[in-house]
Structure 1
Amino acid sequence: MSNGVVDVFCRITRDIAASLNSAGVQVGRRCTGISDGATASAMLSLARDLHLSEDLRHFLNNAHIDVKLYNSHNAHHYSHPLSAAEQHMRSRKLEAAIAGRTDIFEERGKARNSVHRLRSDDGNFNIYKPISGERPPDWWPMGAGKLAIREVAAFRVDELYGFGRVPPTAMTDGPLGPGSVQQWVPSRPYRRGDLLPALERQQLAVLDYIIGNGDRNWRNWRIDIKGSAVAIDHGVSLLDGSRHYRFAGGEIRYLRMRSPFVAGYLHKPLHADILTPVNSDHVFIALHDLNLNERSIDGAVARHEEIQRRGSITGEAWPGPIVEK
């Protein structure tokens, strides 16, 4: 199939998807060039759902391989351009501890993730979370080795919006293998989120909602020496959008978002500065570049679009409950 035909077909698909829910919109977006074969399958499913003609479904089926190859060939055009901050974090070489323990550990229910404060070759301190030390909680459905990329994803969303709440974060290859590295910011715990400036509370609400934060407890945000909010520990976020999960022993629990900031701003208008236009494609590409689950990405983009469209957090793009604690 020629590139021109694919482009026309993608425009038609987006027009169809625009009349559907936010999940349908992602079909059109994914058609633009990021696909591993799921695009054509999603198109076929969309055609069936819309009761399109046998001829069109036959066309989609024949286009499957061509669309996949076309998108794969052009995928490099859609890679996320690293910001200067993320590039700088990537370039840092972490030094192994010479003396003393650097373990901080991170409580995740009964799990303790390995976290280290290490100096890098430029003299700065960093928070290093090796994938080898990830111990996700028992309710975490995504499996081990999936937390570090979510730390980077949260920074990218924060950066796209220009909030400056999440310290610069990147993937690195440290003394204990691949993991995330984050700029260490001198800060202290602060339980009174209600005393933060309204703009900062809204920024944290939007960030947590878009990434579907499952663990914004009082330990996972702090204030720096200037009194501004610092958002950390985003490994438990960006779930795949399923409404509930089955756990050991057959117990079923509903997916929940845990953030006092989101809960506090449900159905409340957001400040104009929060609603700075951010292109949905940029959000999609920034997350796709991290090889996250497609449903995780689609959910984040849908929540971003909800905020841009509604001017508030309504919860319509989140499948489970939103709780404060």
Structure 2
Amino acid sequence: MPAPERIPSRGLTEEGLRTLLAEGELTVLGRVRGASNAVLHCTVAYEGEERLCVYKPVAGEQPLWDFPDGTLARREVAAYEISEATGWGLVPPTVLREGPYGEGMCQLWIEAEAGGEGAPASSHGLPPLLALVEGEEPEDGWKAVGFAEVGEGRTALLVHADDPRLRRLAILDAVINNGDRKGGHLLSAPGGRLYGIDHGVTFNADDKLRTLLWGWAGEPLTAEAAEVLDRLSAGLEPGTALATRLGELITAAETEALRGRVESLRKSGRHPLPSGDWPPIPWPPV
């Protein structure tokens, strides 16, 4: 499957959406419930254009002992910057800006549906991305993650689709060291696009990769992924625009560790395996 076309959200280019998010007037509609940090549902309006967005102010973040440096908001923006550098466009447009409650990240709201045994199903007629199934082996078109307790002493096999969009996201997560790739962080949108959201616990200098997308662990990278990693490696060289931008968002040690992860993937030519030093699957998984 070729990479999807860049977002044209009702006539606005990606750059136009970033300008809208960065310069527009934010109006808070309410708080997204169930999040451990403040997540505000908003509208953003600028020069006659208006969109829904998410605003996560730094003031609403809970301290994390294993992420003592920086902020969730800045790491979310850094994840968007890396996504853009890959050319895959896997993270919705995201900017750092001042808002009603101070500095925070502002991200385009993506409409998506959910369903199917508590796992997200693709909307707009697309097949589901995650499922719990009987048996010990996945069917064709699916990759096994592991067994999960489903109640009353029963287990089921957790699987994800053998989908090139998910495979790209698995590479992005390995690069940014995503510590929280849950099923609820996968959003399917019109036109066959897949987005990943909630990237606040990323870029740690230590291995923190926790994900539901382990189905390709140890398998060779695709030729597409290898090319993307080569470009990303060049783009992360000190003094480049990307490296300079990351220097405003994450620490020098985190940037150096990011370069190391990219080089490790290039050298191995394979999807990473769980390290064994950190729980490989986030909890709750969905």
Query: Same fold by TM (over 0.5)?
Result: yes
Counterpart of 2:281, as a letter, is: E
Q: Are the counterparts in 2 of residues 202 and 270 from structure 1 also a CA contact under 8 Å?
A: no
2:194 aligns with 229
1:282–1:106 Cα change, 3 Å: farther
Structure 1 gap ranges (5+): 1-82, 242-254
Are positions 1:104 and 2:63 aligned together? no
User: CA contact under 8 A between 2:110 and 2:187: conserved in structure 1?
Assistant: no
The answer to whether residue 259 in structure 2 is matched with residue 301 in structure 1 is: yes
Checking the alignment, whether the CA contact within 8 Å between 1:154 and 1:211 is kept in structure 2 is yes
C-alpha contact (below 8 Å) 1:89/1:181 kept by paired residues: no
**Percent identity of the aligned residues?**
25
Match of 1:257 in 2: 209
> Separation in 2 of the partners of 1:150 and 1:319?
25
Distance 2:276 2:81 in 1: 23
In the aligned structure 1, how far is the partner of 2:33 from the partner of 2:235?
33
TM-score by length of 1: 0.60
Q: Partner amino acid for 2:42?
A: L
Q: The residue matched to 2:26 in structure 1 has which SS? A: coil
SS of alignment partner, residue 170 of structure 1: strand
User: Matched residues in 1 for 2:61 and 2:71: separation?
Assistant: 8
Q: 1:176 aligns with which of 93, 101, 115?
A: 101
Following TM superposition, by how much is the alpha carbon of 1:226 offset from its aligned partner in structure 2, in angstroms?
Answer: 3.8
Between Structure 1 and Structure 2, which shows a larger proportion of strand residues? 2
Say if 2:26 is the partner of 1:95. Answer: yes
Distance 1:287 1:313 in 2: 27
Cα gap change, 1:287/1:196 in structure 2, threshold over 3 Å: closer, same or farther?
A: farther
Larger proportion of helix: 1
Q: Distance in 2 between matches of 1:271 and 1:281?
A: 19
CA distance in 1, matches of 2:187, 2:169: 12
Would the alpha carbon gap of residues 319 and 197 (structure 1) be closer, same or farther in structure 2, given more than 3 Å must change?
A: closer
- Aligned counterparts, 1:67-216, within 5 A: 84=15, 87-89=18-20, 91-97=22-28, 101-105=29-33, 107=35, 112-121=36-45, 122-137=49-64, 139-142=65-68, 146-189=71-114, 190=120, 192-193=129-130, 194=142, 196=161, 198-216=163-181
Give the TM-score of the pair, scaled to structure 2: 0.68
With a CA cutoff of 8 Å and minimum separation of 6, indicate the structure with the bigger relative contact order.
Answer: 2
Counterpart residue type for residue 222 of structure 1 = L
Larger radius of gyration: 1
Give the Cα separation in 2 of the matches to 1:85 and 1:95: 16
The answer to whether the 8 Å contact 1:130/1:174 transfers is yes
2:218 to 267, 279, 289: 267
TM-superposed deviation, 1:314: 3.5
Change (3 A) 1:197 1:286: farther
**2:53–2:107 CA contact under 8 A, matched in 1:** yes
Residue 86 to residue 95, structure 1, CA distance change in 2 (3 Å) = closer
Instruction: Encode CA deviations 1:110-140: one digit per residue, 9 max, x unaligned.
Output: xx21111211112111111111111245x54
CA drift at 1:287: 5.5
